[in-house]
């Protein structure tokens, strides 16, 4: 799919099995057209890739609330967590690689109950939902959301009023 502004509006070009289709929207700016389109397939695959933590906010308070020992909190504070995501439509494999190469991999399909595991090895059932480009799931002690914003993976984990915000860059 390709969109370009032309002298008198917007030209929107799509490719299908039948060839190219061109739609013209006279007197319509590109930004206006984009605001009316449904999310494109490329945004559905936005999570795909390998991500490295850039910043964390609320890390200590969140970890303490979950009962993580101080020595583990200290080791993880400045660690650049690696998150690997493979995505095939609504099917995801989400792996997080922690210090000392500890890793947790969860496989899920959006909207379907699945078996998941925490970094501590606790197994539970959850359903991951997607709404407005955000993935969300309820873990045993907190609610977690993930979204792509400004080309970054932004994850929020909320337990009561305590929030851990982790922002990662694509590597």
Model confidence pLDDT, tens digit, residues 62-95? 989 888 889 888 888 888 899 999 999 999 999 9
CA dist 88 → 48, 49, 64, 116, 132 (Å):
9, 12, 35, 18, 18
Phi, psi for 139 (deg, rounded to 5): -90, 170
DSSP string of 41-95?
A: HHHHTTT-EEEEEEEEESHHHHHHHTT--HHHHHHHHT---EEEEEEETTEEEEE
Total residues belonging to the chain: 171
- The region of weakest confidence among 22-26, 42-46, 89-93, 106-110 is 22-26
Tell the burial category of 102 from Cβ atoms under 10 Å away from its Cβ (0-12, 13-18, 19+): exposed
Cα gap 124→147, rounded to integer Å: 22
| 47-66 tens-digit pLDDT | 999 999 999 999 999 989 88
User: Which pair of tokens denotes residue 97?
Assistant: 């690689």
- 12 pLDDT above the threshold of 90: no
What pLDDT shows up at residue 86? 96
Domain range list for the chain: 2-37, 44-170
User: Taking residues 125-153, what's their average pLDDT?
Assistant: 94
Q: Is the pTM of this model over 0.75?
A: no
Please state which CATH class domain 44-170 belongs to.
mainly beta
């Amino acid at each position: 799919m390709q969109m370009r502004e032309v002298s008198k509006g917007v030209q929107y070009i799509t490719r299908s099995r039948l060839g190219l289709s061109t739609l013209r929207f006279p007197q319509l700016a590109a930004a206006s057209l984009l605001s009316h389109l449904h999310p494109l397939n490329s945004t559905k695959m936005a999570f795909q890739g390998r991500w490295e933590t850039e910043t964390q906010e609320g890390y200590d308070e969140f970890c303490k609330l979950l009962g993580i020992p101080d020595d583990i909190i200290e080791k993880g504070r400045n660690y650049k967590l690696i998150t690997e995501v493979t995505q095939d439509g609504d099917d995801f494999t989400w792996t997080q690689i922690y210090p000392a190469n500890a890793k947790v991999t969860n496989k899920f399909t959006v909207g379907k109950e699945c078996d998941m595991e925490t970094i501590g090895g606790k197994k539970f059932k959850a359903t991951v939902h997607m709404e407005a480009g955000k993935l969300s799931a309820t873990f045993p002690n907190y609610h977690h959301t993930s979204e792509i914003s400004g080309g970054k993976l932004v994850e929020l984990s909320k337990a009561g009023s305590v929030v851990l915000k982790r922002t990662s860059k694509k590597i």
